[in-house]
Structure 1
């Protein structure tokens, strides 16, 4: 038996060829950058360059995982996964962001150690390798940018690249400072600054993906407006047992009990239910709505029309 849910609204993109190509190109670029910066960092003695290499290694894993998640996420719903496989992309985004935070913490610890035990840095080699990495990172950012708005999974991978681009810029500046001013301490300062930036940006994705996995409602969703709109419909006296959650980063699901103001025929109750469903989809962009009508109504146990979520 095949499971088919026409209301699940799959992602607008269904693995377009150019997106897959861009993901593959970005993965290859990051792998080359990682090798070049790791070798360059060891030869020049630059922790900032080594940190950039480790970050690029994380980028390579992130983009590869994003590609794999997209392939799995586009599988259709079946008897075991009746909601489909879209949440694999959410799990991947969470994994990528968590990995980035872990790498950043490691780099901060290494940078503090470098403050305590300064090490000479070859600024010229550091600068050349960092410039190559910067150019490659910019190419990767441009390749993934068109696809970063419609998927939190790709957004997480794109954020890896943005962070590494910022890191490469910082390493370039550091290389110039070391060459001209012989300021060795700039190397760990750059490392810590970039790491803190990455932690801040990654935390937002950790919060958002965790909220989705916890069946949470979107941040700042206008519950008051929704309840007010529902109870303004003639024939509805109350709405309760409200549950609103993101299935993934694109699809909202909503279910609730609506209490009818009077006893009425099944056809009239269904008309009112359909009216509310239409408004919820049109005004609040909810993709999947499940409503239960009742009279006089059961005892509410969660969000009611006079309370906030």
Structure 2
């Protein structure tokens, strides 16, 4: 049985302000990076550009995800948000590779850098990033796309701090190699954040069991019901980052009527909803039908009936 699920709508105003701020920061850092000849500042601009793209794509994906289910797309369009998050992460990896390449060249071909201008622009970028991080912090806990954008912004905030420190070292002590070093550090930060998103999106697309669900614990809890003999062939997966689907076979102790089955199912669904935060539930009742009573069905066809 499928129940209505509840998702938290991200604050559209906060998303819009974050997009506007990042667009302005990107322009400022590109211009500042060119004028100051700072690769670290230009790399920070690329990072901010990817942040802006991430937020825009996330918003568009969330709007598409609201579309009603159709006869063709019976699960709806929520997976578009997962695909968008994966796309954002892959773009960031491409940006990281480019930054590593440019930093490598700059190590062996150092160029003079205007440290003061670099410092001023990086400080402006830091202020804008901090505001955006604060705006998206709350929503990032409930939506994978906003989380992706939030991680981008958090990484860029840290990189802006590094650029500010680097600009001071360049201005006062003329340590020019700090610029490509900062670029590499920024690239590593981007890669790390990207891997977190890619790992989670792949798990969702592969229909892996949610990491916070212990299937054996769920089975044990459901089998405490006085009318249940055995719970087996469990499947649990996420349709999106917030929607969990669950199905299982429930072997009852006696031959029951449909009315009795409805009552037992309601009891089991209440356990799954209240204790495990699952609200898309399908339970198939059996009476000594399956010989395989394992938690999950093994073999080449795990979706086969028995």
| TM-score w.r.t. length of structure 1 | 0.90
Name the CA distance, whole Å, in 2 between partners of 1:135 and 1:182.
Answer: 25
C-alpha offsets along residues 65-113 of structure 1, whole Å, 9 cap, x if unaligned? Answer: 1111121122222333222222211111111122112211221222122
Question: Which residue of structure 2 lines up, in the alignment, with residue 261 of structure 1?
Answer: 253
Q: Deviations over 1:5-58 (max 9, x none)?
A: 972414232x6xxx2222122212211211111111112111100100111111
Tell me, yes or no, if the aligned pair for 1:238 and 1:304 is still in contact at 8 Å: no
Q: 1: distance between equivalents of 2:12 and 2:212?
A: 33
Following superposition, the deviation at residue 152 of structure 1 comes to 0.8
- When the two chains are superposed, the root-mean-square deviation of aligned CA atoms in Å is 2.0
Alignment match, 1:97:
89
How do 1:1-309 and structure 2 match up within 5 A? 7-13=3-9, 19-300=11-292, 303-304=295-296
Using the size of structure 2 for normalisation, the TM-score is 0.91
Q: Deviations for 1:97-134, whole angstroms, at most 9, x for unmatched residues?
A: 22112211221222122112222211111111111111
Residues 304/124 of structure 1: CA separation in 2 closer, same or farther (3 Å cut):
closer
Q: How many residues align?
A: 298
Distance 2:233 2:2 in 1: 24
Q: Gapped runs of 5+ residues in structure 2? A: 298-306
Q: CA deviation at 1:267?
A: 2.7
Counterparts of 1:301 and 1:160, CA distance in 2: 45
For the 8 Å contact 1:217–1:245, the answer to whether it is kept is yes
- Tell me the secondary structure at the aligned position of residue 42 of structure 1: helix
CA contact (8 A) 1:260 1:297 kept: no
